[in-house]
Amino acid sequence: MNSFFSAKLLQQLRQKKSANKGFTLIELLVVVIIIGVLAAVALPNLLGQVGKARESEAKNLVGALNRAQQSRFTEKAAFATAIDELEVPVGNEKYYTLTVAAAGIQLAANADNATDGTRDYVGGVSYNSADRTFASVVCRATNDPDYTLAATDVDMTGATDGVFNTSGDIVACDTTNTEEIK
């Protein structure tokens, strides 16, 4: 009877061991908590990267408009005052509205920076008649929380329609609301 009891006990233990192959509630809760913590840490970084990707549209377009302004000045001796005067394909922008705010000043503005995670960009081009050189700048908004810009955020003090008559004067970002993009 002793061997029969041993065999039955071993059989019971083997059946019980094979039946308990799942996870306990505690183990599942620990895994869910770990995933939640990782998501809480990674999500803000992910959202910031989405905004940066959207901003690349504005940087590229303002840079293209700056180069188009230089080309137009070379051909016509004057900067454009409207976007349709420049030979740049625009109109398919998803997040930004492009305007030529003044002679040699381009603005890429987003109506909803807070929702899209973006900032406005403004670019300026000047011509120095004394040195016969162009200078250009692209500025990004730093005025949290709305990140909006205007044409006056490009410093062209001393220029008349984007043209400087003395050497040493260049177009620059107004450091109050902007930072220069290199």
Q: Within a domain: residue 9?
A: no
Does residue 18 form part of some domain?
no
Reduced to 3 states (helix: H, G, I; strand: E, B; else coil), residue 32 is helix
- pLDDT for the residue 62: 92
User: Quick one: pLDDT at residue 46?
Assistant: 77
Which strand (E) or helix (H) includes residue 54? Answer: helix 25-76
pLDDT (tens, 9 = 90+) of the chain, 182 residues, equals 577 777 787 787 777 655 567 788 999 999 999 999 988 888 877 777 888 888 998 999 999 999 999 999 999 999 999 998 998 888 788 889 999 988 899 999 998 888 888 999 999 999 998 888 999 999 999 988 889 988 888 888 888 888 888 777 788 898 888 999 87
CATH number reported for the structural domain that contains residue 113 in this entry: 3.30.700
- Residues whose CB is less than 8 angstroms from the CB of residue 105 and which lie 6 or more positions away in sequence, other chains included: 122, 123, 124, 125, 151, 154, 156, 162
The parent domain of residue 30 ranges over: 25-181
For residue 6, tell me if it sits in a domain: no
pLDDT score of 31: 94
69 contact partners, CB below 8 Å, separation of at least 6: 79, 80, 86, 104, 106, 125, 136, 162
User: How many other CB atoms are found less than 10 A from the CB of residue 90?
Assistant: 15
Res 28: pLDDT: 93
In a domain, 15, yes or no: no
Structural domain tally of the chain?
1
Euclidean distance between CA atoms 122 and 109, whole angstroms: 8
Note whether residue 169 is domain-resident: yes
Q: How far apart are CA 31 and CA 53, in angstroms?
A: 32
The β-bridge relationship of strands 154-155 and 105-109 is unpaired
Question: Which helix (H) or strand (E) segment is 113 a member of?
Answer: helix 113-116
- Enter the DSSP assignment of 151: G
Going from the C-alpha of 169 to that of each of 63, 92, 144, 148, the distances in angstroms are 21, 35, 29, 26
Distance of CA 41 to the CA centre of its chain: 20
- CA distances from residue 178 to 78, 85, 114, 143 in whole angstroms, order as listed: 26, 27, 17, 7
Question: pTM to 2 decimals?
Answer: 0.74
